[in-house]
Amino acid sequence: MIKNESDILAYIQKNINTTSKNVIKSIGDDCAVIKLSTNKSLVITTDTSLLGPHFTKNYSPYEIGYKCLATNLSDIAAMGCKPKYLLMAITIPKLTDAWIKSFYKGINQLIKKHDLTLIGGDTNKGPLSISFQVIGVNNKKILYRKGAKINDDIYVTGKIGMARAALLLSKNKKKYKVLKKFLHMPTPRISIGLAISNIANCCIDISDGLAKDLQTLMSQSKKGADVFIEKIPTHHVVKKTLTRNKYLEALIEGGEDYELCFTSSKKNRNKIKSLSLKYKTPITIIGTVTKSEIKYLDNGNMIKLNLKGFDHFSK
Amino acid sequence: MIKNESDILAYIQKNINTTSKNVIKSIGDDCAVIKLSTNKSLVITTDTSLLGPHFTKNYSPYEIGYKCLATNLSDIAAMGCKPKYLLMAITIPKLTDAWIKSFYKGINQLIKKHDLTLIGGDTNKGPLSISFQVIGVNNKKILYRKGAKINDDIYVTGKIGMARAALLLSKNKKKYKVLKKFLHMPTPRISIGLAISNIANCCIDISDGLAKDLQTLMSQSKKGADVFIEKIPTHHVVKKTLTRNKYLEALIEGGEDYELCFTSSKKNRNKIKSLSLKYKTPITIIGTVTKSEIKYLDNGNMIKLNLKGFDHFSK
């Protein structure tokens, strides 16, 4: 019986051809990878954004365009690659001059910043839905979700928890104003992804929450982790405002911050420190890779978390 | 003011970067083309299919899956290329075991037939919407919409007009039964596209109707055409059943047959005849490329057509 996204994936993997010569990575990572030559590959990702799960009515069209593309670019960043080409299939209910222009301006902000080329697309009339496809290339190594080694440091870029906190604090106008930019306009970590690509052992972007995404990294790497909650970097408003339970929810279950979570050998600490300075972005050690089992520790005390993963079809 | 699809395209082309090194073809053909090496390129297309404009409630989930992929493959065929890799972003209202399985079986029929690999995708909950992205490679030359030469023969593969005739005759159960397979399950002309790729001068798939698609070929080639209506091949049910006006509508304005329309030098007539035999598919000369202006002739008499192009946003 097909009841959720995982069942669809399992059905596809059992019944449909998902591998062939030159397909280095198929379904199951942030991007698919096609080998072009010994050192050159293409990475490809597609994501759809919808009113409801991905953006709400209080997003401006500019923010909708920006975020839809940012989340796709984040998948390329998580593979340690450089985004290059872009296709978009959009469905919009009606053509409003102001909406269209603002929407494409949001997209264009990222196209300009990352020197992308929009090479194709399709436009239809119907319920708002935006699908991007981004094609990137590797500079050095490609990062996958698997590859973590025992005793690796576990890092996150930037600060996390703000996207969920924005939702939790949406009625507090002042706090929401500070936090909503993290929810509406996340920064895809392209430069850092490229810079760590030859020193990180595995990488994912935190779209489904640290707990679920770290779980994916560790289960694909067949490893465990000790996570030090007190070290997880967040915005001071998140720390000061939320109750203990909501704070943990924002930090660990939140997602949608689109920061990178990766692991790297202890010997790379200095290199990563300089990258953090170079890109003016915190890159923080939040844990250690262990043999098995993921443990969350708060100043040395083990915390029992009761987390649900996100599934579009769960009730 | 942005009022239709062409306005969106014009806005994009004016404001957004659509060209760069290695992008041989961007927005404006059946596929985008990225150069990999001297003789090797990738062709890429994306199309969204929606309930309403692309399929209706009397399509089975099998047919929906099949047709959505077929229309994308047809774009690769129109470039004279071989489809290889596939991504799909689908949004479905609810998970029904039977629906999902039947839908993927329809997709899998074409995946198996054309030896494709499904390498990625995204699944969401919402109003039914299916976006495929297909990546192909060239064997020989890549076909574009421009390139027609004066005195070239104009060809169509297969027979056309059945898709529109199916809609026009949807209340006639017997006739509809004969015609609906052409509307619901078009055949992407991959093998023929590949086979003609070094002898055709330009090519398009007939998705928007012969008139609109031929107009595109000729305006991009800066040429005209004489089209001989009596030579356009169609199904005998279309010919026998429809009134004169509806017959012309089906044949010339119809679209959705996803046959190829291409031009080739007169010297290739014998080669194309043998391809027709080899692939057991009619490949018929329906006209000649001229210096300018597109004329429709019916047994020598000029016909004045009053055609509207299809636009998702026109009323």
Task: For residues A71 and A160, state if they share a domain.
Answer: no
Instruction: Give me the DSSP letters along B184-246.
Output: HS----HHHHHHHTTTEEEEEE-SS-HHHHHHHHHHHHT-EEEEEGGG----HHHHHHS-HHH
Distance between CA atoms of residues A113 and B281, nearest Å: 49
Q: Would you state the pLDDT for residue B180?
A: 95
Residue A9 lies in a domain: no
Q: Is A232 exposed, middle or buried (0-12, 13-18, 19+ CB in 10 A)?
A: buried
Total domain count, chain B: 2
Query: Do B104 and B205 share a domain, yes or no?
Result: no
Range B34-39 average pLDDT:
92
Q: For B34-43, what is the mean pLDDT?
A: 94
We report the CATH number of the domain holding residue A285 as: 3.90.650.10
Give per-residue pLDDT as tens, A86-133: 999 999 998 889 999 999 999 999 999 999 999 999 999 999 999 999
Range A151-161 average pLDDT: 98
Contact A1 B313 (CB under 8 A): no
pLDDT computed for residue A307 by the predictor: 65
Residue A272 resides in a domain? yes
Contacts of B133 (CB under 8 A, 6+ apart): A44, A46, A87, A133, B44, B45, B46, B72, B86, B87, B88, B89
**CB nearest B44 (choices: A53, A87, A90):** A87
* Contact list, A31 vs chain B (CB under 8 Å): 120
Band of residue A311 on the pLDDT scale cut at 50, 70, 90: low
Q: Indicate whether A308 pLDDT > 80.
A: no
pLDDT digits (tens, 9 = 90+) for B182-225: 999 999 999 999 999 999 999 999 999 999 999 999 999 999 99
Q: Is residue A144 part of a domain?
A: no
Domain limits for position A281: 153-303
* Shortest distance, CA B43 to any CA of chain A (angstroms): 11
ipTM: 0.91
Q: From A87, A114, A138, give the residue that closes a domain.
A: A138
Residue A264 to chain B, least CA–CA distance (Å): 27
Percentage with pLDDT > 70 across chain A: 97
Position A220 scores a pLDDT of 96
Q: What is the CATH number of the domain that holds A88?
A: 3.30.1330.10
**B119–A18 CB contact, under 8 Å:** yes
Per the CB < 8 Å rule, is B95 touching A46? Answer: no
Nearest Cα of chain B lies from the Cα of A309 at a distance, in angstroms, of 15
- The answer to whether residue B101 scores a pLDDT higher than 60 is yes
Judging contacts by C-beta atoms under 8 Å, the chain A residues touching residue B115 are 17, 20
State mean pLDDT over A3-21. 91
Q: What is the model's pLDDT at position B313?
A: 66
Q: Per the domain annotation, does B103 fall within a domain?
A: yes
Same domain, A131 and A162: no
Domain-located, residue A248: yes
pLDDT in tens, B232-249: 999 999 999 999 999 999
Given B108, B138, B168, the domain boundary residue is B138
Same domain, B134 and B171: no
Pick the last residue of a domain from B69, B104, B138.
B138
Average pLDDT over residues A33-52: 93
Average pLDDT, chain B: 94
Q: Is residue B77 part of a domain?
A: yes
Q: Tell whether A7 is covered by a domain.
A: no
Angle between helices B97-113 and B61-78 (to 10 degrees): 30
Report if residue B25 sits inside a domain: yes
Residues B4, A95: C-beta atoms closer than 8 Å: yes
Q: What percent of chain B has pLDDT over 90?
A: 86
Give the model confidence (pLDDT) of A228-284 as tens digits.
999 999 999 999 999 999 999 999 999 999 999 999 999 999 999 999 999 999 999
Of the pLDDT bands very low, low, confident and very high (cuts 50, 70, 90), residue B309 is low
Continuous H helices in A16-113? 61-78, 97-113
From chain B, the residues in CB contact with A13 under 8 A are: none
Q: Are residues B163 and B298 in the same domain?
A: yes
Percentage, residues of chain B above pLDDT 70: 97
The reply to whether residue A44 touches residue B108, judged by beta carbons under 8 angstroms, is no
Instruction: Find residue A130's DSSP bridge partners.
Output: A49, A90
Do the chains contact at A95 and B2, CB–CB below 8 Å?
yes
Do residues A128 and A160 share a domain? no
pLDDT value, residue A3: 85
| pLDDT value, residue A54 | 86
CA distance B45 to B234: 28
pLDDT in tens, A284-293: 999 999 999 9
